[in-house]
A and B are shown apart, each in its own frame.
Chain A
Amino acid sequence: MSENNALLDIFHVIPWFQQLSEDHIGLLADFSHLVEIPQGKDLFKEGDKEDFLYVVVNGRIAIEIMFPGRGRVSIYTAEPMDVVGWSSVTPVVRQRTASARAVLDSRLIAMDAGALRRLCEGDCALGCVVMRRIANVVAQRLLVTRLQLLDLFANPGDVKVHA
Chain B
Amino acid sequence: MTETMLATATRTDALIAPLWAEIVEIVPEAEGVSTYWLEFKDKALRKSYRFAPGQFNMVYLPGYGEAAISISSNPNKPERIGHTIRFVGNVTNAISRLSRGDVLGLRGPFGTSWPIEKFKGNDVVIAAGGIGLAPLRPAIYQILDHRADYGKVTIIYGARTPADLLYPREYDAWRNRDVEVLVTVDRGDASWTGQVGVVPILFYRLRLQPEKSVILTCGPEIMMRFVIFEGLARRLPEERIILSLERNMKCGQGFCGHCQIGPYFICKEGPVFHFGQLAPFINVENF
Indicate yes or no for A touching B, C-beta below 8 A: yes
Q: Residues of A with Cβ closer than 8 Å to B?
A: 39, 60, 62-63, 71-77, 79, 103-104, 140, 143-144, 147-148, 150-157
What are 22 sample pairs from A and B whose C-beta atoms fall under 8 A apart? Answer: A60-B193, A60-B195, A62-B196, A72-B190, A73-B189, A74-B192, A76-B197, A77-B184, A77-B196, A79-B195, A104-B193, A143-B200, A144-B198, A144-B201, A147-B223, A148-B186, A152-B219, A152-B220, A153-B129, A154-B160, A155-B88, A157-B88
8 Å CB interface, B144-173 against A: 159-160, 164
Chain B hits for A79, CB < 8 A? 195, 205
Q: Please state if A77 and B194 are interface contacts (CB–CB under 8 Å).
A: yes
A104: B residues at CB distance < 8 A: 193
- Those of B11-42 within 8 Å (CB) of chain A: 32
User: How many contacting A-B pairs (Cβ < 8 A)?
Assistant: 74
Q: B189 contacts which of A74, A143, A153, A156 (Cβ < 8 Å)?
A: A74
Task: Find the B residue at minimum CB distance from A74.
Answer: B188
Contact A150 B222 (CB under 8 A): yes
Residues of chain A with a CB closer than 8 A to B281's CB:
none
Q: Provide the residues of chain A in CB contact with B196, threshold 8 Å.
A: 62-63, 74-77
Q: How distant is A142 from chain B, measured CB to nearest CB, in Å? A: 11
B187 touches A148 (CB 8 A): yes
Residues of chain B within 8 A of A153, CB atoms compared: 129-130, 159-160, 164, 186, 220
Known: A76-B197, A153-B129, A155-B88. A147 touches B160 (CB 8 A): no
- Which of B188, B190, B222 contacts A77, CB < 8 Å? B188
Contacts of A72 in B (CB 8 A): 190
Whether B88 lies near A74 (C-beta < 8 A) is: no
Which residues of chain A are near B255, meaning CB under 8 Å? none
Tell me, in angstroms, the Cα distance from A74 to B161 when the chains sit together: 10
Chain A residue nearest to B199 (CB atoms) is: A147
Is the CB of B226 closer than 8 A to any CB of chain A? Answer: yes
Residues of A within 8 A of B220 (CB): 152-153
Question: Considering only CB atoms, which chain A residue lies closest to B202 in the complex?
Answer: A79
Counting chain A CB atoms within 10 Å of each CB, the highest count among B186, B192, B196 belongs to B196
Closest B residue, CB atoms, query A72 = B190
Given contacts A155-B86, A156-B88, A157-B88, 6 further A-B contacts (CB under 8 A): A72-B190, A144-B201, A151-B160, A152-B222, A153-B129, A153-B130
Chain A residues whose CB sits within 8 angstroms of the CB of B222 once the complex forms: 147, 150, 152
- In the complex, how many angstroms separate the beta carbon of B67 from the nearest chain A beta carbon? 13
B163 to chain A, nearest CB (A): 11
- Whether A73 contacts B159 by the Cβ 8 Å rule is no
Contact A74 B187 (CB under 8 A): yes
Instruction: Given A73-B188, A79-B205, verify A155-B200 contact (CB < 8 Å).
Output: no
Q: Which residue of B lies closest to A145 (CB)?
A: B198
Who on chain A is nearest to B221 by CB? A152
Closest 6 A/B residue pairs (Cβ): A74-B188, A153-B160, A152-B220, A103-B193, A153-B130, A147-B198
Q: How far is the CB of A67 from chain B (nearest CB, A)?
A: 10
How distant is A30 from chain B, measured CB to nearest CB, in Å? 29
Least CB distance from A100 to B in Å reads 12
The CB with the most chain B CB atoms within 10 A, among A39, A63, A76, is that of A76
Residues of B within 8 A of A155 (CB): 32, 86, 88
Contact B193 A152 (CB under 8 A): no
B192 neighbours in A (Cβ, 8 Å): 74, 103
Residues of A within 8 A of B201 (CB): 140, 143-144
Q: How far is the CA of A157 from the CA of B88 in the complex (A)?
A: 7
CA A152 – CA B184 in complex, angstroms?
A: 14
Interface residues of B in 120-152 (CB under 8 A from A): 129-130
Q: For residue B226, which residue of chain A has the nearest CB?
A: A147
**Chain B 202-225: CB-based contact to A (< 8 A → 1; otherwise 0):** 001100000000000001101100
Tell which of A73, A74, A147, A151 touches B200, judged by Cβ atoms closer than 8 Å. Answer: A147
* Cα A149 to Cα B130 with chains together (Å): 15
